[in-house]
């Protein structure tokens, strides 16, 4: 019972930490390298704990992120829903990929996410972002193996599901 | 959805995320976005949720603040000494300039009084700190640690020691969001200090420059010219430095010149900014209300104050006969 509650808190805690690190600014030079943390953490949980992650959760996390970011209500909700949907669809395959293939799949998912964002912003009337805007998905994919192993290791140490 | 959820078959994943549900959620998100774009719901929601949002901002701003504190704590002695020396020299220079300016300011005040206008050289400002939060919108926004409780209002100009930074666009109880002048959707009316040419400076796509896209081909403009706020439009007070021209070229159409300017303010380095309290005096275009009312010059003052609408105090009523 206690263990279950702990694992629930751990789950929520990682999501909140992802939202917070989305808000933390980096020094100007590193700014375009910042990965989209909520997407990475949601991806991890949708691969590892399918019963917890569904589209409703992705929508809720996205709405919270929109509320914090203050850009456009529903923008990140849409992106995270699409991301989690694809991840859950191909979950059984993604799980058995070797790590480098998984990272490539994450790269594809994050690039798709950026394209969605671009479409939304274009429709909202924003101008084209600079080329450095496209670096972030690659950084996210490069960080994916480390994030995955770290979260897995922590979960094993805490002996939670 | 027709299919029931069966947890026992992980190989047939996808029943937890049915296509129908995806479509419903996507449609919901799109409806939200359209409604938000039209009505600005997000900001009402945000000010309602400010009790949650603002502590999160402070929390997210902690790393940046602690890095700043650490850099002060570990800065070596020599660095601090040279910094101190430089600041002393700056202060001395500024004081000397101020002393010289005081006489000019007094003279200016006197002349202004003679002209019966209310321009003042004094500044009514409020110091605010930047909270280090990344708002994601291509980094053209800043968050300040003052809000409506501290008297901040939307539309207030924000400056730093070197020039104009932007304007407040949204206010929460304890924080405010500033749109920078380099935001692509921002425009600021400027004059070129050397020639007095009036134009408009827009933000640019890369976010660290200003662009002046429609200068006449015959306009006299050179690299190194300083831009000042012109005060037209009534949002920014006149005479504040905005930037310095660093590139002039003919436009692709050949009908205009395009200039790029580097902002005078330290847009991405300032940690303390000033909020201007007195808005600019409306210069240039006349106030929209005055010509609409009964003519104040021709008719007798008593009649004008009777006819004028009750919401707006009549201009004549306060004037001595």
The string of DSSP letters for B115-161 reads: HT----S---EEEEEEE-----STT-EEEES--GGGT--TT-EEE-S
What is the per-residue pLDDT for B138? 57
B168 part of contact set with chain A, CB < 8 Å: no
Closest residue of A to B130, CA-based? Answer: A25
Q: How near does any CA of chain A get to the CA of B78, in Å?
A: 24
Classify the C-alpha dihedral B214-B217-B219-B222 as positive or negative: positive
Q: Which residues contact A26 (CB under 8 A, 6 or more apart)?
A: A33, A34, B134
Averaged pLDDT for residues B1-25? 59
Interface of A with B in 2-61 (CB under 8 A): 19-20, 22-26, 28, 31, 34, 50-51, 54-56, 58-59
What is the rounded distance in angstroms from the CA atom of residue B116 to the CA atom of residue B96?
A: 30
CB atoms within 10 A of CB B75: 11
Residues of chain B found within 8 Å of residue A69, distances taken between Cβ atoms: 135-137
Q: How near does any CA of chain B get to the CA of A146, in Å?
A: 22
- Contact between residue B167 and residue B179 where contact means Cβ atoms under 8 Å apart: yes
- Contact between residue B226 and residue B194 where contact means Cβ atoms under 8 Å apart: yes
- State which residues form the domain around A22: 3-157
Q: How near does any CA of chain B get to the CA of A115, in Å?
A: 15
Averaged pLDDT for residues A132-148? 90
B31 part of contact set with chain A, CB < 8 Å: yes
Of B11, B29, B184, the CB nearest to A77: B29
What is the per-residue pLDDT for A31? 75
User: What is the percentage of chain B residues whose pLDDT exceeds 90?
Assistant: 4
Per-residue pLDDT tens over the stretch A30-62: 777 888 899 999 999 988 887 888 888 999 999
Averaged pLDDT for residues A91-113? 90
What is the full DSSP assignment across B84-117? HHHHHHHHHHHHHHHHHHHHHHHHHHHHHHHHT-
What is the full DSSP assignment across A51-74? TT--HHHHHHHHHHHHHHH-S-TT
What is the full DSSP assignment across B217-275? TT----TT-EEEE--BTSSSPTT-EEEEEEEEEE-TTSSEEEEEEEESS-TTT-SEEEE
Per-residue pLDDT tens over the stretch B19-65: 888 888 889 888 888 888 777 776 777 777 777 778 888 888 888 88
What ranges do the domains of chain B cover? 10-39, 125-282+297-304
B185 part of contact set with chain A, CB < 8 Å: yes
B27 part of contact set with chain A, CB < 8 Å: no
Q: B125-282+297-304 architecture in CATH? A: Beta Barrel (2.40)
Closest residue of A to B43, CA-based? Answer: A70
A–B: how many Cβ contacts below 8 A?
Answer: 134
Counted domains in chain A: 1
What is the per-residue pLDDT for B278? 66
Calculate the CA B10 to chain-centre distance.
53
Is the pLDDT at B273 greater than 90, yes or no? no
What is the rounded distance in angstroms from the CA atom of residue B207 to the CA atom of residue A131?
A: 13
What is the rounded distance in angstroms from the CA atom of residue B273 to the CA atom of residue B217?
A: 37
B7 part of contact set with chain A, CB < 8 Å: yes
Contact B132 A24 (CB under 8 A): yes
Contact A128 B28 (CB under 8 A): no
- Three-state DSSP at A91 gives helix
Contact A23 B60 (CB under 8 A): yes
Per-residue pLDDT tens over the stretch B76-122: 778 888 888 899 988 888 888 887 787 788 787 777 776 655 555 55
Per-residue pLDDT tens over the stretch B178-204: 888 988 888 999 998 888 888 999 988
What is the rounded distance in angstroms from the CA atom of residue A161 to the CA atom of residue B18?
A: 25
Residues of chain A found within 8 Å of residue B57, distances taken between Cβ atoms: 23, 68
The neighbouring-strand residues paired with B243 are B227, B263
The pTM of the full predicted model, rounded to 2 decimals, is: 0.67
Q: How near does any CA of chain A get to the CA of B17, in Å?
A: 6
Contact B46 A67 (CB under 8 A): yes
- State which of B125-134, B246-255, B301-310 shows the largest mean pLDDT: B246-255
Select the residue from A45, A51, A85, A132 to test the B interface by mutation, using most B Cβ atoms within 10 A.
A85
What is the per-residue pLDDT for A106? 92
Residues of chain B found within 8 Å of residue A127, distances taken between Cβ atoms: 184, 205
The neighbouring-strand residues paired with B179 are B141, B167
- C-alpha distances in Å from residue B161, one per residue of B101, B173, B241: 17, 26, 10
Q: How near does any CA of chain A get to the CA of B109, in Å?
A: 43
B135 part of contact set with chain A, CB < 8 Å: yes
Contact A81 B29 (CB under 8 A): yes
- Contact between residue A114 and residue A156 where contact means Cβ atoms under 8 Å apart: no
Contact B21 A55 (CB under 8 A): yes
What is the rounded distance in angstroms from the CA atom of residue B316 to the CA atom of residue B303?
A: 10
B213 part of contact set with chain A, CB < 8 Å: no
Per-residue three-class SS string for A106-154: HHHHHHHHHHHHHHHHHHCCCCCCCHHHHHHHHHHHHHHHHHHHHHHHH
Lowest mean pLDDT among A45-54, A56-65, B7-16, B160-169: B7-16
């Amino acid at each position: 019972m206690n263990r279950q509650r702990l694992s629930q808190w751990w789950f929520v805690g990682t999501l909140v930490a992802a939202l917070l690190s989305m808000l933390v600014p980096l020094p100007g030079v590193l700014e375009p390298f910042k990965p989209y943390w909520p997407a990475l953490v949601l991806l991890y949980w949708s691969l590892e704990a399918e019963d917890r992650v569904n589209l409703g959760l992705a929508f809720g996390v996205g709405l919270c992120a929109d509320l914090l970011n203050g850009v456009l209500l529903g923008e990140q909700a849409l992106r995270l829903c699409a991301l989690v949907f694809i991840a859950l669809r191909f979950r059984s395959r993604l799980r058995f990929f070797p790590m480098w293939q998984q990272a490539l799949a994450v790269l594809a998912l994050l690039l798709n996410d950026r394209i969605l964002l671009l479409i939304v912003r274009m429709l909202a009337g924003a101008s084209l972002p600079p080329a450095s805007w496209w670096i972030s998905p690659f950084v996210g994919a490069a960080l994916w193996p480390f994030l995955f192993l770290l979260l897995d290791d922590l979960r094993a140490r805490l002996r939670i599901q | 959805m027709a299919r029931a959820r069966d947890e026992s078959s992980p190989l047939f994943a996808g029943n937890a995320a049915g296509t129908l549900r995806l479509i419903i959620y996507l449609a919901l998100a799109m409806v939200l976005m359209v409604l938000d774009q039209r009505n600005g719901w997000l900001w009402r929601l945000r000010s309602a949720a400010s009790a949650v949002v603002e502590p999160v901002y402070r929390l997210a701003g902690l790393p940046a603040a602690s890095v700043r504190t650490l850099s002060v704590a570990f800065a070596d002695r020599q660095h601090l000494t040279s910094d101190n020396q430089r600041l002393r020299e700056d202060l001395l220079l500024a004081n000397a300039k101020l002393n010289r300016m005081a006489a000019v300011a007094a003279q200016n005040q006197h002349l202004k009084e003679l002209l019966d206008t209310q321009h003042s050289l004094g500044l009514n400002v409020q110091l605010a700190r930047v909270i280090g939060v990344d708002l994601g919108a291509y980094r053209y926004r800043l968050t300040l640690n003052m809000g409506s409780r501290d008297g901040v209002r939307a539309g207030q100009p924000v400056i730093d020691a070197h020039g104009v930074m932007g304007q407040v666009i949204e206010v929460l109880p304890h924080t405010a969001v500033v749109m920078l002048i380099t935001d692509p959707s921002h425009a600021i009316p400027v004059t070129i200090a050397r020639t007095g040419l009036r134009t408009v400076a827009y933000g640019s796509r890369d976010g660290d420059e200003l662009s002046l896209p429609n200068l006449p081909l015959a306009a006299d403009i050179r690299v190194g010219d300083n831009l000042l706020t012109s005060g037209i439009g009534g949002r920014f007070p006149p005479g504040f430095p905005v930037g310095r021209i660093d590139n002039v070229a003919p436009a692709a159409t050949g009908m205009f010149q395009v200039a790029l300017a580097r902002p005078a303010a330290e847009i991405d380095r300032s940690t303390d900014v000033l909020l201007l309290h007195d808005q600019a005096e409306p210069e240039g275009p006349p106030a929209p209300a005055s010509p609409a009312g009964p003519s104040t010059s021709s008719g007798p003052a008593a009649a004008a104050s009777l006819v004028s609408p009750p919401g707006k105090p009549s201009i004549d009523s306060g004037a001595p006969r």
